[in-house]
Structure formats: C-alpha cells, structure tokens
Amino acid sequence: MMTMPSPKTLGILFFAALTCVVGLTTHAPEVEAQHPGNNPVVQTRPVRPVLVTCTSGKLPKAKDRDWNHRRSKLVTATGKPVHTARDVLTTSEHGVIINGKFAYGKASKDLEDESIEVLIDDCGKGYKSLGKATTDGDGRVAFHLARKDLPKMGFYNIVLRVEGDGTTVPLTLSIYPPGTQVVVFDIDGTLTTADVEALEDAVADFFEPIYKQEVVPEKRPSAVEITKARHLQGYAVVYLTGRPYNLTRITRQWLKSQGFAPGSLRLTYESAQVLPVEAGVGEFKHNELAGLKAKGFQIGAAYGNAETDIYAYQKAGIPNDRIFIVGKHGGKKNTEKLGEGYTKHIKEAEREPNVRRSISF
C-alpha cells in the first residue's frame, strides 16, 4: 500500500515543479570584473538593460519667429554662428543640465536674451521639443532636465536651436546605469603629440592655429586603438580637455575623422580654466571628475601627459596604478609611465577584464 507524502513534502515537490515549469529559478550572483588587485564585488542584479542609440531622427523645420530684440539682428550680421554646446553624461538616477553658448562672428559676439529650443532625437520618429530656454548676458543657456523626464538609458542626439534664425548646435546625451566605469582621456599632448603646456605664456599661440584649422593635430602612436580597446571593455569614454569652448566643433570633427572611439566631449567653459596650471585646467578637470563621481560613475582609468593631469586625477581619488601618463612626466608621483605612445601599453590593457557590469551595448 502506497504511503501518502506529508503536507510539508507535497509543498516542496509542488514548488520544485512550479520552478521548472514557470522558470522561477534563482540567479547566482554576478561577480563584477575588477582591476587587478581589487576585491570582487557581488552583484545581485541579473537584468542586463539595453542602452538604446537614437540617431535616426530628422530635425523638423524651424518655425518663423521674430527676435526678442532688434539688436540681435546686428549681432547676427557680425558673421557666421559660432555656437557651442557641451555633451551631457549622466546616470539614470540623476537629472542633467544642458548647457550651450550662442555667439556670432570672429569676435564671438554674444546673443543675449533670445529664445533657444531644446530638441531630442525621438528614436526614428523625428525630433521632439523638450522645452525652451533664454540666453543670458553671456549668450549662455542652462536647460534643466529632471530625472523623471529622462528618456531610457542610452545615447541621444540633442540639438539646440536659435528660434530667431533657426541656427543650431548639436550635443550628445549619454545615460548609463549607476556604477558604470569611466575612462578619461586628455587630448592635447595625450592623444596628440603637442601640448599647450609647452606654451604656458602663450596659450593663444597654441590654440589659434587649431581654431583657424591651419594645422591638424598629429596623433600619438596607437592613440586611436587604446580608446577603442577601452570602449570595447565596457568603459564609458570621456574626452576631458583644457581646450577653450570655441574649439568644440573642430574637436568633435577631429575625433570623428581620426576614428577615435565614441565618447562624451568636455571642454572648458571659462577662460581661466584654459590656463595650464593647477588652479586653472587642473581644478577644471578635478571638478569635472568630481561631478561624474557624484552622479554615480566610477573612474576606472585616466590618461594624460601633463603635471596638471596628474594633479587632477590624484585629487579625484584615482589610484596611481590607474593613472597612465605619456611623455616626459610619465611615472611622476608614482603614476604609470607609458613612454611616447600606446603600442606596448595596449597589449597590456587588452588583458584586463571586461568592466561591463550589467550593461548590454
């Protein structure tokens, strides 16, 4: 005669069967890839969110609109628009401020008290308006986008458009999961062979030929390849440079034309930040890194060439063995010395573990 299982046994058998049928399996915790020497961190999130990329929309035609002030017509008559905008990098847990500056002509005459529309790529549906902002006395706007109004995690094209004449300036919005690892690259002297540090008393003499596009900066050996390698490892790439903001468009074009990995571009926004000293570009870079950390990013590695880079990176709390310095200052203050290029270093870097935690590109 068959003995009936106890109620407790029946409950266990029922749960096991339900688990097999409906997939209520427990997930083994993921172990986050860490840099050598770090202890692994246990992750309990099994979901791998997909970061969408929105670049296919078509910008709608601008509506005819009068200027707020007659003087604005005189400003636009001084020459071509020289508008600039900063790329925005954030996590899904924080809102953002979209910054732009609007000016015209070689003298960079500011467009004051005029309306700017903020439009975002709507993933193949075209662009939609996020709202409007008004330029201040320096021709700048700061448009606040709250956390609740952020789109899904991913990469978006944003356009700032002057309502008075329809001229535009682009930027990118990148939204990552909290805890995403960032790799930082300086540009001049780090990805290129020349640096403003050599011309401390003549900053304009260094940047003016670039602005006039009389010279194309020469890349260091394997500079493009190291940015791509880090991108493939799952890092969010940030190009953090002491260049003045009016070089934004030219810098974007150079990075793209040379084939560097996609990433967010951050230039200075005040003249004092360009100066190649700790109180100038050093503090600018430190503050930018502190801002990224405050939004939940982790700085996994940083590349530079100048003593101001070392100052900013160390002050931001980046370990010395993750601060990679090319050129004559390599190895100073216990940083990692790379020589004059990345050909040897890239092989070592590629052996490092992937840092793409729960991100699916």
- As a whole number, mean pLDDT of residues 190-216 equals 64
Residue-wise pLDDT for 238-250, tens only, equals 999 998 888 898 8
**Percent of the chain scored above 70 by pLDDT?**
79
- pLDDT category at 65 given cuts 50, 70, 90 is confident
Residue 278: DSSP 8-state: I
pLDDT, residue 213, reads: 64
- pLDDT category at 210 given cuts 50, 70, 90 is low
Alpha-carbon dihedral angle through residues 131, 264, 284, 342, given to the nearest 10 degrees: -170
Examine the pLDDT at 24 and tell me if it is beyond 50.
no
CATH number for the domain spanning 188: value is 3.40.50.1000
Residue 269, number of CB atoms within 10 A of its CB? 17
| Residue scoring higher pLDDT (55 or 279) | 279
Non-local CB neighbours of 134 within 8 Å, separated by 6+ positions: 113, 114, 115, 116, 141
| Residue scoring higher pLDDT (133 or 64) | 133
Alpha-carbon dihedral angle through residues 298, 101, 253, 350, given to the nearest 10 degrees: 0
- pLDDT category at 125 given cuts 50, 70, 90 is confident
Give domain status of residue 32, yes or no.
no
- As a whole number, mean pLDDT of residues 108-117 equals 96
Three-class HEC string of 174-235: EEECCCCEEEEECCCCCCECCCHHHHCCCHHHHHHHHHCCCCCCCECCCHHHHHHHHHHCCC
Give domain status of residue 42, yes or no.
no
Q: Are residues 161 and 129 in the same domain?
A: yes
Examine the pLDDT at 140 and tell me if it is beyond 60.
yes
3 state DSSP class of 328: helix
Q: Which amino acid is at 54?
A: C
> Could you say which of 176, 210, 245 is where a domain stops?
176
Q: Are residues 143 and 260 in the same domain?
A: no
Phi, psi at 3, each rounded to 5°? -90, 130
Domain membership of residue 233 as a residue range = 181-349
Q: Which residue, among 351, 343, 350, has the nearest Cα to 326 in the 3D structure?
A: 343
Q: Which residue, among 142, 129, 125, has the nearest Cα to 88 in the 3D structure?
A: 142
pLDDT, residue 279, reads: 95
Tally of residues, the chain: 361
Q: Are 217 and 254 in contact (CB under 8 A)?
A: yes
Q: Are residues 170 and 203 in the same domain?
A: no
Residue-wise pLDDT for 291-340, tens only, equals 999 999 999 999 999 999 999 999 999 999 999 999 999 999 999 999 99
Q: Are residues 343 and 227 in the same domain?
A: yes
Give domain status of residue 58, yes or no.
yes
Residue-wise pLDDT for 154-177, tens only, equals 999 999 999 999 999 999 999 999
Distance CA 207, CA 266 (A): 16
Q: Is 51 exposed, middle or buried (0-12, 13-18, 19+ CB in 10 A)?
A: middle
Give domain status of residue 163, yes or no.
yes
> Could you say which of 141, 176, 211 is where a domain stops?
176
3 state DSSP class of 316: coil
Distance CA 81, CA 181 (A): 36
Place of tokens 């969010």: 236
Examine the pLDDT at 23 and tell me if it is beyond 60.
no
- Greatest extent of the chain over all pairs of C-alpha atoms, in Å: 103
Q: How many domains does the chain have?
A: 2
CATH number for the domain spanning 73: value is 2.60.40.1930
Q: Are residues 198 and 313 in the same domain?
A: yes
Residue 156, number of CB atoms within 10 A of its CB? 22
CA distances from 314 to 68, 298, 310, 319 (A): 47, 14, 6, 7
Q: Are 156 and 121 in contact (CB under 8 A)?
A: yes
Q: Are residues 190 and 331 in the same domain?
A: yes
Task: State the Rg of the chain over Cα.
Answer: 25
* H/E run at residue 249: helix 248-258
Examine the pLDDT at 90 and tell me if it is beyond 50.
yes
Give domain status of residue 300, yes or no.
yes
Non-local CB neighbours of 137 within 8 Å, separated by 6+ positions: 110, 112, 113
Tell me the pTM.
0.81
Q: Are residues 157 and 187 in the same domain?
A: no
CA distances from 35 to 319, 322, 352 (A): 11, 9, 7
Q: Are residues 340 and 226 in the same domain?
A: yes
Give domain status of residue 156, yes or no.
yes
Distance CA 293, CA 299 (A): 7
Q: Are residues 198 and 128 in the same domain?
A: no
Q: Are residues 204 and 288 in the same domain?
A: yes
132: left (phi over 0), alpha (psi -120 to 50) or beta: beta
Phi, psi at 157, each rounded to 5°? -85, 135
Q: Are 84 and 245 in contact (CB under 8 A)?
A: yes
